[in-house]
Structure 1
Amino acid sequence: MPKSLADFKYLSFDVVGTLIDFESGLTHCLKQIGTERGVDIDGEAALALYRKARYLPDVGLFPDDLVRVYLVIAPDLGLPAERALGERLRDSAKSWKAFPDSVQALAQLAKRYKLIAMTNAQRWAFECFSEELGNPFYQGFTADDTGTEKPDPAFFQHVFEFVQSEGSTKDDILHVAQSQYHDIGISRKLGMTNCWIERRHAQKGYGGTIEPENFTKPDFHFTSMAALADAVGEKSDA
């Protein structure tokens, strides 16, 4: 039988792109730099360049890696390839905003579930993101904690071991994310139940997120966190 939203003890979340609007954060900073230099920056074009640069062989941990990424993409954007500007892009992560529905939805969901953050970001950035989101998480796992990034199964294994220490299993987790590549595909392969938050449902392409080789049909599908929270509320009232 298909699981109901009421069947889970934990909700695990991708953070950057699902809860935090990193695309707007990145493009806002790049457009600011562009304005100062008299250069008009196209947001979608910048995201396409970012996506390509982010996954080159010499990739580093995120968001520290944004310094390197900026130096790679700056010439194509018509911006100065200066390290100080790359550091500015990196540091902009400290002020990236939540999607408008994230804080309220998480607060509502935290009343029913234990919320676990699973982010490819480093711990310093996650602490900023968590504060922006109202510190809703029961537990958080970062690239620093796991030594890897999703979609590496090893990242997920850290979470499985954590819930096992509390007497639960991965069957008690609903994994919630916007990235087909980093989260939805691999969570299905690992036997998790998943929920796709299709943040770019009104936009073409994959923006700043790498395109998956194959599309994975999720177990649950919403276009916003608010819709997920509302669906959980309806189950609670039933």
Structure 2
Amino acid sequence: MAAPLPVTPRLITFDTYGTLIDWDSGLRAYIGKFLAAKGARLDVRTFYERWYYGHALPAVSGPFKIYRRLLEHTMAAALAEVGVPADPKELSALGDVMAEAEPFADAVAVLNELRHHVPLATISNSQRDIIQSSAKKLGDPFTYVFTGEVVEAYKPDPALFELVLDRAGVQPHEAVHVAQSQYVDLPRSVPMGIPTVWINRQGQQREPETPAPTAELPDLRGLPSLLGYPHRNGSQL
């Protein structure tokens, strides 16, 4: 059973991409242009899912590779499967696409609200130069920023969770983790005893093997109220 939400959280940790930053839209747009330039008539959404579930997702649990290289190599492998040749060097812009992706419409206001009540952190399957750009777009709300390259491991490995809890000096039950991924976040944060809010932006059905979160929201707008933080005068969420 998922841990209950703390009465007063001492730390809120966030997944960034897919939770705060809409990198899927930017990446699909880039892939669409890339496929068109190659003369490949493929459905972009179908190919994107093939790449993500068949290559990128398994790769984060494999031998550590810096995230820009992970993107390049997994995308090249997915393209090869559908007969589209591409050297990883041709895909070097994928990390930049991630860094340049825009926040979801609700993200900046919610983070700005929460930062006035409790320290915020992001633990991200990305790398430092990518997350720095994204954090700036989000208004630099984070007290702690950690990426996979710091621990040479990606979620669902526990290392990023353990690192941020240690640096913040809090116990798992004193924190709240907020994330959209039922594949790399929930399978680790829930068993660790971290109260977890699933931001289910895509309206997914939870897989049978994915542990149930403490709470589920369709977006971030209800998060401050869920955590017991009244809106400050004049704030707009």
TM band (smaller chain): 0.7 to 0.9
User: Share of identical aligned residues, percent?
Assistant: 24
TM-aligned CA deviation for residue 78 of structure 1: 5.3
C-alpha offsets along residues 126-179 of structure 1, whole Å, 9 cap, x if unaligned? Answer: 111111211110111111222211111222111221122xxx322221111111
Of residues 207, 217, 222, the one that matches 1:227 is 222
C-alpha offsets along residues 95-129 of structure 1, whole Å, 9 cap, x if unaligned? Answer: 11211211111111112121011111111111111
TM-aligned CA deviation for residue 3 of structure 1: 4.5
Quick one: higher RCO (CA 8 Å, sep 6+), 1 or 2? 2
Larger deviation: 107-116 or 83-92?
Answer: 83-92
TM-score (norm 2): 0.84
> Structure 1 counterpart of 2:33, which letter?
Q
> Structure 1 counterpart of 2:18, which letter?
G
Aligned CA distance change for structure 1 residues 40 and 229 (closer, same or farther; 3 Å): farther
Gaps of 5+ in 1: 206-210
TM-score (norm 1): 0.83
Distance 1:94 1:151 in 2: 22
Distance 1:177 1:225 in 2: 10
Query: Which has the larger share of helix?
Result: 1
Runs of 4+ off more than 3 Å: 2-6, 37-41, 56-59, 75-80, 229-232
Matches within 5 A, 1:34-73: 34-51=35-52, 52-54=54-56, 55-56=58-59, 57=62, 60-73=65-78
Distance 2:43 2:214 in 1: 35
| Aligned residues: CA RMSD | 2.4
Larger deviation: 109-118 or 148-157?
Answer: 148-157
Gaps of 5+ in 2: 232-237
Of residues 211, 223, 230, the one that matches 1:216 is 211
TM-aligned CA deviation for residue 217 of structure 1: 1.5
Distance 2:17 2:68 in 1: 10
Matches within 5 A, 1:21-32: 21-32=22-33
